[in-house]
């Protein structure tokens, strides 16, 4: 039987420290649910003491039932010279009421002296007392030995004492951290192996950063040396050059080394979750990212394409479908057909896979992708696109025109936004106007004002997030933009997308689709 390796995801904490990333509360909750569905074992939600958003996350996440993951709160040991039960950040960890708490402590004597400004013995007391105290209030405590590998190389005796202090306190896992990301794989292996031999029967983990471009390799070498918990982030998000990329670690451990990580069926969702997090983090997924990138299994015409069509193993190290990706051959119109047939069945559309309509739909999707559309985090727009192609989406209203005005006067602190919308519903014309906090807010209010008389269930609809991404940056102010809108009606959440050179028009497309999707799903479920 394959040995189990537990995946500890820190996208919501370490990943949020990526320059340019700012997850909203809704982003964090959606990502947590997606990670749980994927099969992640631990989800580090954030630092309860650090900011109000993380505090609110831990309040909200209690109401969500997770099938696979344990939600984890992150914090530090008590402060030097302070009683553990009087340290507010330790108390905040307890108030988060998570089944798992992770704390970090210094294992490099340099950090103890120069950063904490305390004695080596006091640091050991801080670790032992904090772990021992937290074990009274939660099921599981994980201890992150910060800067462990640097600390071990500088003073191995003290670094090992740090681990001993955490274990005496009752830590369930001791995690060896390459916090500065400067250790190379051979050292990771030897040091982890030494720790494993010294602390027999103890659960050991690895937490690697990518400053030397070896975080994935370091994580794998630690597992080969005996570690059984791996920390990382989706797409390698993280401070500086990022954390270990779980999108590479998971398939490497499972497909190449035979460890039991997640189910084979869930592994097929790897590419989907990579794109999902890329969209919500507003960090484009590199095309050449291993396993999940758009070009990971791409082949141009010529020798490569010819060989792959005869035998995929000639130029592919795995079957791309194992990780939910697909082969891409630029000279073929077959790429994506199987995925599309699967989606059609999911939407209740039965059709012969050889039908010319399938080919037309594939061509339409490819054309929209060229324009800048991206459907991984806009599932509702994809469903609407497919159902429109087969004439399955009702005309809930007939659009005539919209206009958006933005005005700012000399003494105004903020500009005023006003939108007007003209449309008709079953021959009844509506012409409405509304103010908003911004142009999109005004447009949303005006559209709903026109429709709610006919479709009262739209009062349930709320826009919970709005993101804009430049597609072709080199075009400057003439660049195309992609707008992603997240919506909810209290029962479900969905994403819609719009693309245009005009940000208002891109927003209108996503906004219109959000409303039509709500009406379509309600009608399908007999709620209208």
Query: SS3 for 180-229, per residue?
Result: CCCCCHHHHHHHHHHHHHHCCCCCEEEEEECCCCCHHHHHHHHHHCCCCE
* Cα separation, 271 vs 287, whole angstroms: 12
Residues 276 and 408 in one domain: no
Burial of residue 409, with CB atoms counted within 10 A of its CB: 0-12 exposed, 13-18 middle, 19 or more buried: exposed
Question: Are the C-beta atoms of 309 and 329 separated by less than 8 Å?
Answer: yes
Asked if residue 34 has pLDDT above 90, the reply is: yes
Strand bridging mode 398-407 / 140-146: unpaired
Q: Is position 65 within any domain?
A: yes
Average pLDDT over residues 89-114: 96
Average pLDDT over residues 176-204: 97
CATH code: domain of residue 469: 3.30.160.270
Residues 256 and 405 in one domain: no
Which of 238, 254, 281 is a domain's end point? 281
* Cα separation, 256 vs 253, whole angstroms: 6
Strand bridging mode 42-46 / 481-488: unpaired
Give the three-state DSSP class for 377: coil
pLDDT at residue 335, as a whole number: 43
User: If we measure between CA atoms, which residue out of 70, 17, 13 comes closest to residue 45?
Assistant: 13
Q: Is position 135 within any domain?
A: yes
pLDDT at residue 330, as a whole number: 41
Asked if residue 221 has pLDDT above 90, the reply is: yes
pLDDT at residue 224, as a whole number: 98
Asked if residue 49 has pLDDT above 90, the reply is: no
pLDDT greater at residue 294 or residue 106: 106
Which of 266, 281, 296 is a domain's end point? 281
pLDDT tens by residue, 502-515: 999 999 999 999 99
Q: Is position 458 within any domain?
A: yes
pLDDT tens by residue, 308-330: 666 777 778 999 999 998 876 54
Strand bridging mode 298-299 / 173-178: unpaired
Q: What phi and psi, each to the nearest 5 degrees, are found at residue 399?
A: -80, 135
Asked if residue 332 has pLDDT above 50, the reply is: no
Q: How many domains does the chain have?
A: 2
Q: For residue 71, give its domain range.
A: 6-281
pLDDT at residue 331, as a whole number: 31
Q: Is position 188 within any domain?
A: yes
Average pLDDT over residues 412-431: 92
Asked if residue 376 has pLDDT above 80, the reply is: no
Per-residue pLDDT band at 212 (split at 50, 70, 90): very high
Please provide the average confidence, as pLDDT, over all residues in the chain.
91
CATH code: domain of residue 255: 3.20.20.70
Q: Is position 230 within any domain?
A: yes
pLDDT at residue 478, as a whole number: 65
Q: Is position 311 within any domain?
A: no
pLDDT at residue 333, as a whole number: 37
Q: Is position 513 within any domain?
A: yes
pLDDT tens by residue, 114-173: 999 999 999 999 999 999 999 999 999 999 999 999 999 999 999 999 999 999 999 999
Q: Is position 367 within any domain?
A: no
Asked if residue 302 has pLDDT above 60, the reply is: no
* Cα separation, 137 vs 397, whole angstroms: 56
Give the three-state DSSP class for 237: coil
3-state SS of 112-159 is: HHHHHCCCHHHHHHHHHHHHHHHCCCCCEEEEEEECHHHHHHHCHHHH
pLDDT greater at residue 471 or residue 69: 69
pLDDT at residue 353, as a whole number: 76
Question: Are the C-beta atoms of 54 and 73 separated by less than 8 Å?
Answer: no
Structure tokens, 113: 């002296």
Average pLDDT over residues 206-225: 98
Q: In what order do the strands lie in the sheet with 462-470?
A: 462-470, 481-488, 493-500
pLDDT tens by residue, 455-495: 999 999 998 889 998 887 666 666 789 999 999 998 888 99
pLDDT at residue 305, as a whole number: 56
pLDDT tens by residue, 238-285: 999 999 999 999 999 999 999 999 999 999 999 999 999 998 998 989
Structure tokens, 64: 């969500």
Per-residue pLDDT band at 379 (split at 50, 70, 90): confident
3-state SS of 21-84 is: CCCCHHHHHHHHHHHHHHCCCEEEEECCCCCHHHHHHHHHHCCCCCCCCEEEEEEECCCCCCCH
pLDDT at residue 178, as a whole number: 98
Which of 253, 281, 309 is a domain's end point? 281
pLDDT tens by residue, 333-354: 334 565 677 678 878 888 887 8
Of 24-38, 191-205, 490-504, the least confident: 490-504
């Amino acid at each position: 039987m394959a040995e189990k390796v537990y995946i500890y995801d820190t996208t919501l904490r370490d990943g949020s420290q990526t320059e340019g990333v700012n997850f909203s509360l809704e982003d964090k909750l959606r990502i947590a649910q997606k990670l749980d569905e994927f099969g992640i074992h631990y989800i580090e939600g954030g630092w309860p003491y650090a900011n109000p958003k993380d505090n609110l996350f831990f309040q909200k996440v209690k109401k969500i039932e997770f099938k696979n993951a344990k939600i984890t709160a992150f914090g530090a040991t008590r402060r030097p010279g302070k009683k553990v039960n009087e340290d507010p950040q330790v108390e905040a960890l307890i108030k988060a009421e998570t089944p798992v708490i992770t704390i970090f402590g210094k294992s490099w004597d340099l950090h103890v002296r120069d950063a904490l400004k305390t004695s080596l013995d006091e640091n050991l007391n801080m670790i032992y007392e904090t772990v021992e105290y937290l074990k009274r209030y939660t099921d599981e405590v994980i201890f992150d030995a910060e800067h462990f590998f640097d600390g071990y190389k500088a003073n191995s005796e003290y670094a090992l004492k740090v681990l001993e202090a955490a274990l005496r306190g009752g830590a369930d896992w001791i995690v060896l951290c390459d916090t500065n990301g400067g250790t190379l794989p051979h050292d990771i292996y030897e040091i982890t192996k030494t720790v494993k031999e010294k602390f027999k029967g103890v659960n050991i983990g690895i937490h690697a950063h990518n400053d030397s471009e070896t975080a994935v390799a370091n994580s794998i070498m630690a597992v080969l040396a005996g570690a059984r918990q791996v920390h990382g982030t989706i797409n390698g998000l993280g401070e500086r050059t990022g954390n270990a990329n779980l999108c590479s670690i998971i398939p490497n451990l499972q497909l190449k080394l035979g460890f039991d990580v997640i189910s084979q069926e869930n592994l097929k969702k790897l590419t989907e979750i990579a794109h999902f997090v890329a969209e919500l983090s507003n960090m484009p997924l590199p095309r050449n990212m291993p396993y999940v990138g758009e070009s990971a299994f791409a082949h141009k015409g010529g020798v490569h394409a010819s060989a792959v069509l005869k035998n995929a193993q000639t130029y592919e190290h795995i079957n791309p479908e194992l990780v939910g990706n697909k082969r891409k051959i630029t000279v073929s119109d077959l790429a994506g057909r199987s995925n599309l047939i699967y989606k059609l069945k999911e939407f209740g559309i039965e059709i012969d896979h050889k039908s010319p309509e399938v080919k037309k739909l594939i061509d339409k999707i490819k054309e929209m992708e060229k324009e800048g559309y991206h459907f991984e985090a806009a599932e509702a727009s994809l469903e609407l696109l497919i159902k429109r192609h087969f004439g399955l989406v009702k005309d809930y209203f007939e659009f005539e025109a919209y206009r958006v005005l933005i005005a700012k006067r000399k003494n105004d602190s903020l500009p005023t936004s006003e939108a007007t919308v003209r449309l008709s519903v079953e021959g009844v014309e509506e012409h409405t106007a509304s103010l908003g906090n911004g142009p999109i807010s005004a447009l949303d209010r005006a559209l709903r004002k026109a429709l709610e008389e006919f479709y009262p269930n739209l009062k349930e609809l709320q826009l919970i997030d709005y993101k804009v991404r430049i597609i072709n940056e080199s075009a400057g102010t003439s660049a195309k933009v992609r707008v992603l809108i997240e919506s909810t009606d209290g029962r479900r959440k969905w994403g819609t997308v719009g693309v245009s050179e005009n940000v208002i028009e891109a927003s209108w497309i996503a906004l219109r689709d959000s409303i039509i999707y709500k009406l379509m799903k309600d009608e399908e479920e007999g709620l209208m």
